[in-house]
């Protein structure tokens, strides 16, 4: 668990899956992520292997004043480097995050949670570089990532599944 003020980031547990499914089936939230709702069976299939440490993706819950409000993941991109159009990577990590409770958007929490995990990855994982990949039309996310010091590098074409297609994303790095 890592914390700053009212914000904590802790490993995800199987008991969080119901809440994850609630967040990912809220149209206000999934508009910015998969473009369509995801149910509990989908959440279980995707995240159970991570909790069982069969996949090296650190899946975590963001808490505000001890209440879970969102999801954040971070991982060494080595096994996934081709997805980012990179090769021979070493010590490059990626982050994805979202706040699943829209009432908590635009209150400074996402910026602080991102900075907290960035500091953790540089210090404790000895990363040389961190990347993040918002959809090109997610202007709030891009603004937040720039606020935390990420810079746009290039557009990754058809990078992420969204609705029934694939959309472009900015590769940003810090
Ligand atoms: C993106 C997200 C993580 C940001 O966290 P947050 O707590 O809402 O962000 P903050 O409150 O720290 O900062 C929001 C900033 O964006 C700005 N902003 C809000 N809407 C905006 C928009 N449409 N375009 C540009 N900037 C916008 C705010 O003014 C604020 O900037 P400021 O501090 O310079 O005034 C969160 O909003 C979220 O989870 N959204 C839905 C899912 C999502 O988009 N996830 C990211 C996937 S890459």
85 lies in a domain? yes
CA–centroid distance, residue 82 to ligand 1 (Å): 28
pLDDT of residue 60: 98
145 lies in a domain? no
139 lines ligand 1 (CB under 6 A): yes
Cβ(134)–Cβ(170) below 8 Å: yes
Cα–chain center distance at 48:
17
pLDDT of residue 112: 98
pLDDT of residue 145: 98
pLDDT of residue 120: 98
- Give 36: exposed, middle or buried? Use CB within 10 Å, 0-12, 13-18, 19+: middle
CATH number, domain at 16? Answer: 3.40.630.30
59 lies in a domain? yes
Provide the residue range defining the domain that includes 107: 2-131
CA–centroid distance, residue 53 to ligand 1 (Å): 31
Query: Cα–Cα distance between 10 and 15 in angstroms, integer?
Result: 13
172 lies in a domain? no
pLDDT of residue 5: 94
141 lies in a domain? no
Q: Which atom of ligand 1 is nearest to the CA of 109?
A: 7
pLDDT of residue 18: 98
pLDDT of residue 45: 98
88 lies in a domain? yes
Query: Cα–Cα distance between 76 and 25 in angstroms, integer?
Result: 28
Q: Does the pTM of the predicted model rise above 0.75? A: yes
pLDDT of residue 78: 97
Residues of the chain with pLDDT under 50: none
DSSP 90-102: -SEEEEEEEES-G
Q: Which of 64, 102, 140 to mutate to test the pocket of ligand 1 (most atoms within 8 A of CB)?
A: 140
CA–centroid distance, residue 146 to ligand 1 (Å): 11
99 lies in a domain? yes
Domains identified in the chain, total number: 1
25 lies in a domain? yes
Tell me how crowded residue 15 is: count the other CB atoms within 10 A of its CB.
7
Closest to 173 (Cα-Cα) out of 128, 137, 111, 139: 128
CA–centroid distance, residue 145 to ligand 1 (Å): 9
């Amino acid at each position: 668990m890592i914390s700053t003020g009212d914000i904590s980031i802790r490993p995800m547990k199987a008991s969080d899956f119901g809440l994850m499914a609630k967040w990912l089936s809220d149209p206000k939230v999934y508009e910015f992520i998969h473009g369509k709702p995801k149910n509990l069976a989908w959440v279980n299939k995707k995240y159970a292997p991570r909790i069982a440490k069969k996949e090296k993706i650190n899946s975590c819950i963001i808490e505000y004043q001890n209440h879970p409000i969102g999801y954040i993941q971070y991982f060494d991109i080595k096994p996934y480097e081709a997805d980012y159009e990179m090769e021979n990577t070493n010590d490059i990590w990626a982050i994805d995050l979202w706040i699943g409770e829209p009432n908590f958007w635009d209150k400074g929490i996402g910026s602080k949670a991102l900075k907290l995990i960035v500091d953790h990855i540089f210090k404790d994982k000895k990363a040389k570089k961190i990347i993040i990949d918002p959809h090109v039309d997610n202007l709030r996310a891009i603004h937040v990532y720039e606020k935390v010091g990420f810079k746009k590098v290039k557009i990754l074409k058809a990078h992420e599944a969204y609705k029934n297609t694939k959309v472009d994303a900015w590769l940003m790095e810090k």
